[in-house]
Amino acid sequence: MPGRGPALPGLAVPALALRAPYDREKDPGTEKAPRKPRERRIDSPPTEVPVPMSRQREKVRFASGDTTCAAWHYPGTNGGCVIMAGGTAVTKEPASDLFARRFHDAGFAVLAIDYRRFGESGGAPRQVVRFDDQLADWQAAIDFAAGLPDVDPGGISLWGFSLSGGHVFRVAADNPRLASVIAQSPLVDGRAVAPNALRSMTPLALLRLFGRAVADALGGLLGRPPLLVPTAGVRGAVASLTTPDAMDGDRALDPDHRYPDWDRTVAARIALRIGGYRPGLHAPRTRCPLLVVVCDQDRTALPGPAVEAARNAPDAEVLHLEGGHYAPFLEAHEEAVAAEIAFLHKHLAGTNAAPGGGDLT
* Sign of the alpha-carbon dihedral angle for 269, 275, 280, 282: negative
Q: What would the pLDDT profile of 126-140 be if each residue is shown by its tens digit?
A: 999 999 999 999 999
Q: Which has more pLDDT, 24 or 183?
A: 183
- DSSP line for 226-265: PPEEES---TTS-SS---TTGGGHHHHH-TT---TT---E
pLDDT for res 348: 81
Average pLDDT over residues 63-85: 97
Q: What would the pLDDT profile of 239-290 be if each residue is shown by its tens digit?
A: 999 999 999 999 999 999 999 999 999 999 999 999 999 999 999 999 999 9
pLDDT for res 35: 45
Q: Which has more pLDDT, 231 or 51?
A: 231
Q: What would the pLDDT profile of 158-174 be if each residue is shown by its tens digit?
A: 999 999 999 999 999 99
Question: How is residue 331 annotated by DSSP?
Answer: T
Residues linked to residue 112 through DSSP beta bridges, in sequence order: 72, 84
Do strands 290-295 and 265-267 pair parallel, antiparallel, or not at all (unpaired)? unpaired
- DSSP line for 269-301: THHHHGGG--GGGGGGG--S-EEEEEETT-SSS
pLDDT value at 74 more than 90: yes
pLDDT for res 200: 96
First to last CA, the chain: 29
H or E, element range at 101? helix 92-105
Euclidean distance between CA atoms 208 and 228, whole angstroms: 12
Where residue 194 falls (left for φ over 0; alpha for ψ -120 to 50; beta otherwise) is: alpha
